[in-house]
Amino acid sequence: MSIQERVLTGDRITGKLHLGHYVGSLQNRLRLQEQYETFILLADVQALTTHFDKPKVISDNLRNVALDYLSVELDPNKSTIYIQSMIPEIAELTVYFSMFVTVNSLRHNPTIKTEAMERGYTDMYYGFLGYPVSQAADMAICKATLIPVGEDQIPHIEHARKIVRRFNDLYAPVLVEPKALVGQRLEGLDGNSKMSKSMGNAIFLDSSPEEVQQQMKRAKTDPGRVHKHDPGNPDICTIYAYHEAFRPDECSEIREGCKRGTIGCAACKQQVTAAIHELLEPIREKRSYYEQRPDVINEILAEGTKRTQKIAKSTMDEVREAMGINYL
Ligand code: ATP
Ligand code: MG
């Protein structure tokens, strides 16, 4: 990463952020904001693709997600935080892109397929099927080069690269191809899928110590390990996956202990629960600081959105010129 990167990433405003976001994306953002110009998108429009009938979830959570960012110490002086729906140029660019993106290329996108299945969609909504196109516009509008995301997003970044390439070939090379920086994937408490806001298998960043304790009770361990001294298989244990994420230095010891049956599941769970408490405590403190200062949050969002609006206008001037649709 020797060139000057412009970083963009964001989250759907469908609920508060959880440990999966921390491991998969927020940690990378924290590191990158120290080096590069960073943009963070509160994706309220993309949230509508699955929540068009529950807009209140989105308006109720917008500030919650902003609070999540600030409480993990994303710094508004280094990271520009902005609201997607307040940048109408993104919607405009999405329309232009959609002229040359085929329906089949979207249907075959593996993340779209998985998400459609998880949500029980037999027929897909046009906006949902097309959300990778709107993500490509998110990236292109601010000429982002580097996108720190979880692995479910890899097909979308690949598609965005193709869309930008096609646009540049068709009209003029004014847009920039982004690349992904992929974070770890954290599995959910149920052990079946990734930790996710919508699947009821998450530990949220604002959870109280009691809530964490309670939720960790549900976390799946190796089902074949019935007695404390039975040898276990760490590779199918959610608690071991959490060790890898939150206490990587203790992993080899835990792995051996589990395989030999010298460390029991309860003790193992307790150790990783303590690590999660340790991680969340300062985040909770920072959150309560900002919770008492709603005006500061509004100012941060207004300022970040204004900054991004300028960039979006300038990119769209170039786009329209490239396409020859700047008539008057
Ligand atoms: P939803 O269920 O509403 O889609 P989500 O929990 O999947 O919500 P998103 O807003 O879709 O969260 O994802 C935001 C970013 O966080 C993406 O880059 C995604 O890859 C990453 N991410 C989400 N969940 C995890 C996870 N469990 N592990 C690693 N990264 C994750
Ligand atoms: Mg998601």
Same domain flag for 301 and 238: no
Domain count, the chain: 2
Same domain flag for 19 and 70: yes
Cβ–ligand 1 distance for 198 under 6 Å, the answer: yes
Q: List, for residues 266-298, the tens digit of each pLDDT value.
A: 889 999 999 999 999 999 999 999 999 999 999
Cβ–ligand 1 distance for 20 under 6 Å, the answer: yes
Type of residue at 226: V
Pair 323, 174: CB distance under 8 Å: no
* 198: in domain: no
Same domain flag for 305 and 180: yes
Query: d(Cα 254, Cα 250) in Å, to the nearest integer?
Result: 6
The DSSP code for 243 is H
Mean pLDDT, rounded, of the chain: 94
- Domain range for 152 is 6-187+294-323
How far is the centre of ligand 2, averaged over its atoms, from the C-alpha of 233 (Å)? 29
* 194: in domain: no
Q: List, for residues 156-166, the tens digit of each pLDDT value.
A: 999 999 999 99
Pair 14, 131: CB distance under 8 Å: no
Same domain flag for 165 and 304: yes
Cβ–ligand 1 distance for 24 under 6 Å, the answer: yes
Residue 50 predicted with pLDDT over 90: yes
Pair 266, 227: CB distance under 8 Å: no
Nearest to 32 by CA among 16, 11, 8, 10: 8
Confidence of residue 2 (pLDDT cuts 50, 70, 90): low
Sign of the four-CA dihedral 118, 67, 33, 97: positive
Beta partners for residue 39, in sequence order: 8, 80
Tell whether ipTM is more than 0.90.
Answer: yes
Same domain flag for 231 and 299: no
Same domain flag for 281 and 265: yes
3 state DSSP class of 60:
helix
Same domain flag for 133 and 57: yes
* 193: in domain: no
Q: Which tokens in the block code for residue 287?
A: 């959150």
Same domain flag for 42 and 114: yes
Cβ–ligand 1 distance for 46 under 6 Å, the answer: no
CA angle 73, 75, 76 (to 5 degrees): 140
Same domain flag for 173 and 319: yes
Same domain flag for 247 and 304: no
Cβ–ligand 1 distance for 111 under 6 Å, the answer: no
How far is the centre of ligand 1, averaged over its atoms, from the C-alpha of 279 (Å)? 19
Same domain flag for 51 and 91: yes
Pocket probe for ligand 1: among 17, 29, 48, 152, the residue whose CB has the most ligand atoms within 8 Å is: 152
Q: List, for residues 142-196, the tens digit of each pLDDT value.
A: 999 999 998 899 999 999 999 999 999 999 999 999 999 999 999 999 988 889 8
* 227: in domain: yes
Residue 166, domain CATH: 3.40.50.620
* 197: in domain: no
Same domain flag for 31 and 173: yes
Helix (H) or strand (E) run with residue 77 in it: none
Residue 266, domain CATH: 1.10.240.10
Protein residue with its CA nearest to atom 16 in ligand 1: 21
The whole-number average pLDDT for the span 295-319 is 98
Ligand 1 atom at minimum distance from 195 CA: 27
Cβ–ligand 1 distance for 190 under 6 Å, the answer: no
Looking at the CA of 21, name the nearest ligand: 1
Alpha helices in the chain (DSSP H): 19-21, 27-33, 44-51, 55-71, 88-98, 103-107, 110-118, 126-129, 131-141, 154-170, 209-218, 238-246, 251-260, 265-291, 294-323
The DSSP code for 13 is S
Cβ–ligand 1 distance for 140 under 6 Å, the answer: no
* 13: in domain: yes
The DSSP code for 182 is E
Protein residue with its CA nearest to atom 25 in ligand 1: 20
